[in-house]
Amino acid sequence: MSDKSAHFRSFRKIDAHSHIGFFGDPFHVNFTVDALIEQMDTYAIEKTILCSAGCTLNDEVENARRKFPSRIVPLCWVNANLGQAAYDMLEHCLRDQHFAGVKMQPLFDAFVADSEVVDPIIDIAEEYSCPVFIHSGHPPFSLPWQIGLLAERHPNVPIVMVHMGHGHGVYIDAAIKMAKKFDNLFLETSGMPMGCQIKNAYLRVGSERIMFGIDSPFHHPTVEIQRVLSCGLDDVQLEDVLYNNAAKFMGWK
C-alpha cells in the first residue's frame, strides 16, 4: 500500500449522507445495500447515515438497517407536500421503527424549504429529539437563505444543510453565513466542489459543525474523501470532519 493510500484509509469515517435504491431519469442509477457495505469496507467507513430513493421507499432503509444494524443509521424521507399523510408516516418511522432522524429533499419533492408545510415535520422531529437533514443548493426550493429561515423558526432542532450550498459559489458562501448566524444549523460536505470552503466553514462556523458525506450513488468516495483530505486542515481537524463531528451530532460519543 502506498503512503498516500495508507493516509487515505487511516482516518475513521462516518458518511453523514448517502442513499440506496433506484433513481430514474435523469440519473439512471441503482445502489443496493450490499454495494454500499462493500464501498464502506473498501474506504474504511464505519457507519452510514442512510436515506432511501424517495418518500415511499423508507422500508428499504429499514430493511438495510435490520441487515446491517451496526453499520446503517436510517433517516425517514418525508415529502412535506403530502401534509397529514407525511406527518403520520414520520411519526410511524420515529415512534415504531426508531429511525434516527428526518430527511427532506425540497428539489425532488417540489416544496420550498421554509414553507409552512415543513413546520409540522420539524415539530415532530423536536418531539422525538431527532435531527433534520435537508438538501440545499437548488433554486427556488432549497436555497441556504430559506434553510436559514427554517432554522431560525425552530432554534431547538438541529438541522443539517446537506451539500452546504452545493455547486454554486454564492450558495456555498451563503451556507457558511447562515450556519454562522444560527447555532442549530450544521453543514455536510457531499457534492460541494470547493475544498477550501470546508476549511473556511470549520474555522468560521465552528470545529464541531461540519461533517463529511458522500451522497452515494451520485458521488464517489475517492472524490469526496480526497476533497476533505486536501482542504488544508491538519490531521486532528480532519478527524473532526471525517468522524468526530457526526459521532457527536448523532450522540454516539
- Joined grid coordinates for residue 2: 502506498
pLDDT (mean) for 115-140: 98
pLDDT tens digits along 212-229 = 999 999 999 999 999 999
pLDDT tens digits along 33-54 = 999 999 999 999 999 999 999 9
Which residues lie closer than 8 Å to 67 by C-beta, 6 or more apart? 33
Beta strands 185-188; 210-211: pairing state:
parallel
User: Considering the chain, what percentage of its residues have pLDDT values greater than 90?
Assistant: 96
Positive or negative: CA dihedral 59, 118, 16, 251: negative
| pLDDT bracket for residue 3 (50, 70, 90) | low
Q: Domain residues of the chain, as ranges?
A: 3-249
pLDDT tens digits along 151-208 = 999 999 999 999 999 999 999 999 999 999 999 999 999 999 999 999 999 999 999 9
Q: Is a pLDDT exceeding 60 seen at residue 4?
A: no
| pLDDT bracket for residue 6 (50, 70, 90) | low
**pLDDT computed for residue 253 by the predictor:** 76
| pLDDT bracket for residue 1 (50, 70, 90) | very low
Query: What is the C-alpha separation between 38 and 182, in angstroms, rounded?
Result: 37
Q: Among 216, 182, 176, which residue's Cα sits nearest to residue 199? A: 176
CATH 3.20.20.140 fits 3-249, yes or no: yes
Mean pLDDT, the chain, rounded, equals 96
**pLDDT computed for residue 175 by the predictor:** 98
pLDDT tens digits along 70-88 = 999 999 999 999 999 999 9
**pLDDT computed for residue 10 by the predictor:** 82
Which residues lie closer than 8 Å to 117 by C-beta, 6 or more apart? 80, 81, 83, 111
